[in-house]
Amino acid sequence: MRKEIVCKAIADYTADFEDPRLLVIKQFPAGTLDVAMLRAYYNQLGLYKFNPDLVIVDYIGEMKDFPGMPTYESRYRIVRDLRGFAVEEDVCVFTAMQPNRAAREAQKVDGFGSGVIDDENLADAFGQIRPLDACWSINQMQEEKKAEIARIFVIKHRHGKSRFLLHVEYDMKTLKMRQISEANYDRRWKKQRNEVEERNLKDMSDNIDNVTRKGKADNPAKDNEIKDAKTEDEVNKMMFPGEYETPMEPDDGDSSEKDTKDTKGE
């Protein structure tokens, strides 16, 4: 469904262009593409008079690693060579990197992390970020996903401002993103959180009602006794006999006898 939407959008956008070839998608088998192969394919496109302004590699982790080299060093060299290719061809290159396991907790607004995925949360190799001119992390909790909003943190920017947060909304069908104000983000975030809390309260209320109805159905004769109960302990003992125990109080008789024995010993 999304493929048809994207293809139609591209066709409508390029209808008035003399050369409608604004997008070329090339798939390589996983783990076979290296920078040399990418450069060769890019030059091949030039033979057909197609010179893209943007190259998107999806993604670093699916490219061919350098043989006989540790993963962290191989990933660093791949990113470095991709940047070299971009400078050589004067083209912008985008790619993606996977975060590590700690990133799930790090991006939580109400968790113990920083609230965003940072450079320390990159998987496989920390050094991947060093050759990059810019790096952003997309942060989204489950509630944000339902509200179709997200937070983008600028981790690094070689030629501009970095270490700041911006807010976006996106279309679930086309994944098109658009920046929104912080006030708009907060409004949609709070609305979604309130809806979640209301659903949780309703589910809790329904569970209590179900337990109450079950208790009445098991022994209807106790219904009136439950209504006349004065304390929570009495209600629990009537509704759940055998499952609810009242804390035992100390036996005064035993204590007195012990005190008497201690006195005689003295």
Tens digit of pLDDT for each residue in 24-53?
Answer: 889 999 999 999 999 999 999 999 888 898
Whether 158 is covered by a domain: the verdict is: no
Closest C-alpha to 217, from 194, 200, 239? 239
188 inside domain: no
In a domain, 10, yes or no: yes
Distance of alpha carbon 115 from its chain centroid, rounded? 11
Q: How many CB atoms lie within 10 A of CB 167?
A: 19
Give yes or no for residue 137 having a pLDDT over 90.
yes
DSSP state of 247: P
| CA pair distance 204, 240, nearest whole angstrom | 19
Highest mean pLDDT among 123-127, 131-135, 235-239: 131-135
DSSP one-letter code for 240: S
Spatial separation of the C-alpha atoms in residues 54 and 162, rounded to whole Å: 22
pTM: 0.67
Report how many domains make up the chain. 2
Instruction: Kindly state the average pLDDT of the residues 245-265.
Output: 51
* pLDDT band (50, 70, 90) for residue 249: low
What pLDDT does residue 62 have? 93
The residues with which 169 forms a beta bridge, in sequence order, are: 149, 178
pLDDT confidence of residue 266? 46
Where in the sequence is the domain holding 204, given as residue range(s)?
193-265
- Output the CA–CA distances (angstroms, integers) from residue 190 to 126, 164, 194, in the order listed: 35, 22, 6
Domain boundary among 35, 65, 96: 96
- If you average pLDDT over residues 179-189, what whole number do you get? 93
Query: Which pair of tokens denotes residue 171?
Result: 């279309």
What whole-number distance in Å separates Cα of residue 39 and Cα of residue 33? Answer: 10
Say which amino acid occupies 243. E
Q: Which residues pair with 137 in a beta bridge?
A: 153
Side-chain-side CA neighbours of 257 within 13 Å: the count stands at 4
Instruction: Give the domain-ending residue among 77, 96, 115.
Output: 96
What residue type is 214 in one-letter code?
K
Task: Give the three-state DSSP class for 170.
Answer: strand
Q: Which pLDDT score, from 0 to 100, does residue 264 have?
A: 47
- In eight-state DSSP terms, residue 111 is S
Half-sphere exposure of 101 (CA within 13 A, CB side): 0
Give the pLDDT score at 136: 94
Domain boundary residue among 31, 65, 96?
96
Q: 160 in a domain, yes or no? A: no
* Beta carbons within 10 angstroms of residue 44's beta carbon: 11
**Is 174 inside any structural domain?**
no
pLDDT digits (tens, 9 = 90+) for 77-132: 999 999 999 999 999 999 999 898 888 888 887 655 568 999 888 888 888 989 99
Half-sphere exposure of 169 (CA within 13 A, CB side): 12
d(C-alpha 186, C-alpha 233), whole Å: 43
Residue 151, domain member (yes or no): no
Contact 154, 134 (CB under 8 A): yes
Instruction: Report which residue type is found at 64.
Output: K
pLDDT over threshold 70, residue 182: yes
SS3 221: helix
Determine, yes or no, domain membership for 205.
yes
Q: Is residue 223 part of a domain?
A: yes
- Rg, the chain, Cα only: 32
